[in-house]
Structure 1
Amino acid sequence: MARSSSLPSSLDSTLPGFSLTILGAELEQKYLCRQCKLILRRPYQAGCGHRFCAFCFKQIISSGPQHCLACADEGVVEDLLDTNSAFPDNAARREIENLPAVCSNPGCVWKGSIREYEASHEGQCEFQRIECDACKQMIRSCDKERHMERECPERSLNCRYCKTIFNFKDIKAHDEICLKYPMHCEGCGKKKIPREKFYDHAKSCGKYKSPCHFKGVGCPVIVENEKLAEHEIQGNREHMRLLLAAVESLKFLNEEKMVSNLLAPRSKPRGLDFCVQNLDECLIGGSLYCDPDEGFASNILPSVDKQYHRHQTRYDDLAQKLATFENIVCVLNREVEKNSLTLEAYSRQRGLDQEKIDYLTSKVRQMERSVSLKDLAIAEMEQKLQEHEHSTHDGVFIWKINDFSRKRQEAVAGRMPAIFSPVFYTSKYGYRMCLRLYLNGDGTGRGTHLSLFFVVMKGKWDALLKWPFNQKVTLMLLDQNNREHIIDAFRPDITSSSFQRPNSEMNIASGCPLFCPLHKLDCKSASAYLQEDTIFIKAIVDLTGL
């Protein structure tokens, strides 16, 4: 049968030979690959007798059968290299894999065989040099995590203030715009103020230095906020001088603009210029007659003078309106500035009030949680106190039920069909139990009998007790004249889930649904059991065997 045209999977390798630097002893030439000149890895012997790494041999014949270069160097002509004339050299492989080896990575002290090196150390050495994916630097494998966290200039970081992800080289630029970056107030010395709240702090901090409100008109003073009002009062004269100079400058600019608008050419006839132009045309055309007695001035100059006075009047009106508007603007500016100061003060006060409200709200919520926890603790303590006050630890329990008539009516109405007794025990570390009474009956005794049941409850010491519960239980309705008690007793059915070790707070109740006929409590003869609207029920647990 012809051999396969591909290498066996056991010899298939994606790596050339082992580096000569891993040898712990001298190497014979027969263990070198004739192609890569390295130590043979998965050696393959050609028909000519030369050995190659499986990886190298596969590369040689990848484009078809080839001549052996080693044979050519020796001056020998052999058959072509192909998979049909070559075979895996397992003997050489075993010899090579048993050779002693050391790790060539600086700092590594690993030693073993070439087999162990290939199986568990090659490519896994902590001291081998690898390329960082981000910055392309060569680093040791064991230092990769530290390099990525602390040293790599291209690493990504999370801002510890706003949790935004950014590149390490952008850390300074991010700190300049981070809204959560902690700022330091040089006035009051407060630290760790988020940048998004620093502007509000600067406005409300009395020690923070701010420029004068008249900075826009030339006041160069920078003063603490708490002294800003005092500066404005003391510098009122200087501020007015600066403000007046600014207004005069504005007025001069407005006048220049007004004059330029008046002198600008119009699309309609232009008054005086139009008259002069018509006069020139008349003179040139000879159509203007001048009476020597009347003269030139008597005909032309009155018209020109009239036009001039009209423009002068219009200019004066506009100048007066401009002055009026300037006064109105000054008054409005003062009002706006005053309102701005008032609004800023209100904003500061609102911020302080809101902070106080938030603080008090947080305090109220904290107090509410504390009160709720204390209420729960008090209720738990009251329950434990009541349980401790009424409980017994000898298997004998007497249950006093007051206000029997009202509770019976609630049971009949279905509002409270059953009531539970306090807890009692067979001993201090014994079974935990209680009684359950249906005042209008339950099951077969509904409406005709008192139904009394015994309940096994989950206790702290259940792991130390014997299960299932198998103690005899006696239930009694006491005759308060001590003559004839109503008694019922039973021994637990150990196959019932009612007497197995409880998995929840209490097991299913078990007992006497026909414990006592209700007519014995309704007729006059029942006065021995029901006196002063009170009955007594007694439970006795047999402690034999405990």
Structure 2
Amino acid sequence: MAAQEPSPPSSLEGNKPGFPKKILANKLEDKHLCNICLKILRRPFQAQCGHRFCSYCFNKAVSSGPQKCSACIKEDIFEEPTSILKQGCAFPDNAAKREVEALEAVCINEECSWTGTIKEYEANHEGKCDFRILPCPSCKELLRANELERHNERECPERTLNCKYCKEPFHFKNIKAHDEICPKYPMICEGCAKKKIPREKYVDHIKLCTKFRTPCRFHVVGCDMMVEKEKIHDHEQACSYEHLNLLLHFIMGIKVNLECLQPQSLELLKMGQLSGAGAPVQGACALLPPPPLHSEKTKVAELSRRCQELELKVSTFENIVCVLNREMERSATTMEAYNRQHRLDQDKIEILNNKVRQLERTVGLRDLSIVEMEGKMREMSAATYDGVFVWKISDFSKKRQDAVAGRAPAMFSPAFYTSKYGYKMCLRIYLNGDGTGRGTHLSLFFVVMRGHSDALLKWPFNQKVSVINF
């Protein structure tokens, strides 16, 4: 008989579920499927109930605690504790692993012509296929692996480039925006046509460039000529008559506007405007006669009356604003009190929620402990401690039919011991045979299990085992 020692990993071994069904070149058999992810087994483990799982799927399922075997429930053969999945109760199924790894496979990626076995696919092709679809790390577009490098270098809108002028990095999609602010970007002077002037030096250049066209100094009064700096003096001499005419119209417009002001400030404003207008027209403006005052008095009286009316309205509005301010202060005080009480209530609710969650966790842990204790009691009641174990298989015909159909190919016996502190063992039986004996024989395996007293025992296990069939 074969002796097998369980060694399920305590942490997740591998980080992938099963292989996709499409990689098989031949017909798929149900025995090669994981009962959790429903894909082709990857590093298969077999539980006590006989169902097989991927190592990753099994460890992920039991990482949060013991779980009921969904396959047993689906097949209506659920039986405690055999159908409970938990750490330490599953064994690497090397026979199934060899069968799966020897299956003929093809690459599932479009246009890839690779063929081989599943073992070769996992080791040499799965993560290296040039036709596998990968997301671009920058723009998240899905591309083939052999196109990703070219995409990152030439096509990705999120790719990073270095400016050829200032050497600063920027995204390709922002290339125009960067050109607008790049301090080293080459500019062309509109005056002297000099090229390749860095933007950071362009302002200094146009300050000194004699060919750069600037507005005439009389543009504020209407001259719209753009003149080269070196020709401004010639322009002012040639257009002095036009400039004086524009300046006269500008001053007359100011005079008309001044008529709407009080007589006392009229003379001061007139003097200020004339003094800022330039020396060439001071003599002409000084000869203007003072405006009539009878119309100004009427306007001043009207303005005074309107000011008094506005002062009365302002006083009324000030009283209304004071009342509203007091109401707002009272409302703010009341709202602050409500907010304080709300915060206190929220704190109490949070404390109570934490207590409820803590109690729920405590109840859950106790329920789990009760289930484990019940399982241990059932194991202890069925266990023997003299090395002799009689295994009676009830309803043999139905269980053999399930094994032939592949629903439950294997069964495990309750654990038994050579002595109270001796080796822990069990039997595993394939009612329809296993390996080369499948379909023709009944296969029985003797399994040495992990026990509490293993540190006190002699290893490796080297004892005589006798199996008698009644």
TM-score (norm 2): 0.50
Larger RCO (CA under 8 A, 6+ residues apart):
2
Larger Rg: 1
